[in-house]
A and B are shown apart, each in its own frame.
Chain A
């Protein structure tokens, strides 16, 4: 037994002895418990506020945004005009590259659904934040049969390029360009790009090709 060590603890400062006085210790731990309980009590309320706070901008965007092709660059999924659970497109017009020349107007639900899936797919790809150039390279490896042009628009046949104008049920529109081979014209980058889910691109390209006939 180390008597002197036990005794020497008796030489600690008066303030330390007073600090550890029973009522002070009880009060300290009671306050700590109360503080913890208060935080836990208000957690659901804080969470509710956080959710509401996050929802406000989403709601405003949904109401106010005009969905042009340019708007889709870099926007969040929540801003996407389409409803993932059902069809929201009312009409799809396919032009030649020049928007003034209308080739065909689609109102058939089956086709509208496919076009909408196509837009959603493109949007999902943008949501990942991967630059278009990288996507282009990745897809070039995955789908070599698409024969992706390496240099840009000069390698594409302009006769296979179409301008697609989608009209939603609420009257808003979303436009983009697509080629018969599955590329689309990225206005901001001024480059031909391939879209994320190639089978749908392929379908759309075929759709456009058939509309041309």
Chain B
């Protein structure tokens, strides 16, 4: 079903909207959640929670891109779940993701501008300073939280090469963020 029709179902408060959403995007959303939580059961719960959140947000929100909208919700919910689960025991994969990103800002305790501003700056960087391929790799790794091995399977590139490319992108991003005044 077309995204517009699914959104219409949400506006009509028709529960079939959730069924259609799950049919179309369920597997992809579980994949993202699983990348973050590293647990099948947690991923399923997060996706269900994200459907509820979507149900609550539409209406009044009418997302221009339903898939991106759902991805953001499931990503946030999964990340919160990850935090809850790892209050005592840290999740290795997401920890490593955050450590990689941590290197971009010298002082992790520094007061950062609002997430939205930082997000917009990263968006600008990806559009203006990265080619399509590097942009895809960065978003796959840090938005979709894909592991390097998954990314290697997806692209056909070697893990070592991917790692090097991502390292270079992060290095460029760090310089960009410093110029934009995001460092202390």
Chain A partners chain B: yes
Q: What residues of chain A have their CB less than 8 Å away from a CB belonging to chain B?
A: 1-22, 24-26, 28-30, 32-33
* Residue of B76, B123, B133, B140 touching A7 (CB-CB under 8 A): B76
Residues of A with C-beta under 8 A to B31: 22
**Is A1 touching B108 in the complex (CB atoms < 8 A)?**
yes
Residues of B with C-beta under 8 A to A4: 112, 115, 118
Question: Are A9 and B99 CB-contacts (below 8 A) given A17-B68, A17-B139, A29-B154?
Answer: no
**Is A29 touching B105 in the complex (CB atoms < 8 A)?**
no
Question: Are A15 and B65 CB-contacts (below 8 A) given A1-B98, A8-B122?
Answer: yes
**Is B118 touching A25 in the complex (CB atoms < 8 A)?**
no
Q: What residues of chain B have their CB less than 8 Å away from a CB belonging to chain A?
A: 28, 31, 64-65, 67-69, 71-72, 75-76, 79, 83, 94-95, 97-99, 101-102, 104-105, 108, 112, 115-116, 118-120, 122-123, 126-127, 132-133, 135-136, 139-140, 142-144, 154-157
Closest residue of chain B to A3, judged by CB? B98
Residues of B with C-beta under 8 A to A33: 156
Question: Are A18 and B115 CB-contacts (below 8 A) given A6-B97, A6-B142, A10-B143?
Answer: no
Closest residue of chain A to B104, judged by CB? A5
- With both chains docked as a complex, state the minimum distance between the C-beta of B96 and any C-beta of chain A, in angstroms: 10
A-B contact list, 16 entries, CB within 8 Å: A2-B104, A5-B104, A5-B118, A6-B142, A8-B122, A9-B122, A9-B143, A10-B72, A11-B118, A12-B119, A14-B69, A16-B127, A19-B136, A20-B143, A22-B31, A29-B156
A9 to B79, CA, bound (A): 12
Residues of A with C-beta under 8 A to B28: 21-22
Question: Are A5 and B155 CB-contacts (below 8 A) given A16-B139, A20-B136, A28-B132?
Answer: no
**Is A19 touching B116 in the complex (CB atoms < 8 A)?**
no
- With both chains docked as a complex, state the minimum distance between the C-beta of B49 and any C-beta of chain A, in angstroms: 16
A10 to B101, CA, bound (A): 13
**Is A17 touching B143 in the complex (CB atoms < 8 A)?**
yes
Residues of A with C-beta under 8 A to B115: 4, 7-8, 10-11
- With both chains docked as a complex, state the minimum distance between the C-beta of B123 and any C-beta of chain A, in angstroms: 4
- With both chains docked as a complex, state the minimum distance between the C-beta of A40 and any C-beta of chain B, in angstroms: 15
- With both chains docked as a complex, state the minimum distance between the C-beta of B138 and any C-beta of chain A, in angstroms: 8
Residues of B with C-beta under 8 A to A20: 135-136, 139-140, 143-144
A101 to B127, CA, bound (A): 84
A32 to B131, CA, bound (A): 14
**Is B102 touching A11 in the complex (CB atoms < 8 A)?**
no
**Is B132 touching A19 in the complex (CB atoms < 8 A)?**
yes
Residues of A with C-beta under 8 A to B64: 14
Which of A1, A4, A9, A33 has the most B CB atoms < 10 Å from its CB?
Answer: A9
Residues of A with C-beta under 8 A to B94: 6
Extra inter-chain contacts (16) besides given A8-B116, A28-B136, A33-B156, CB under 8 Å? A2-B98, A2-B101, A2-B102, A4-B118, A5-B98, A9-B122, A10-B72, A11-B116, A11-B122, A11-B123, A15-B68, A16-B139, A20-B140, A20-B144, A24-B136, A29-B155
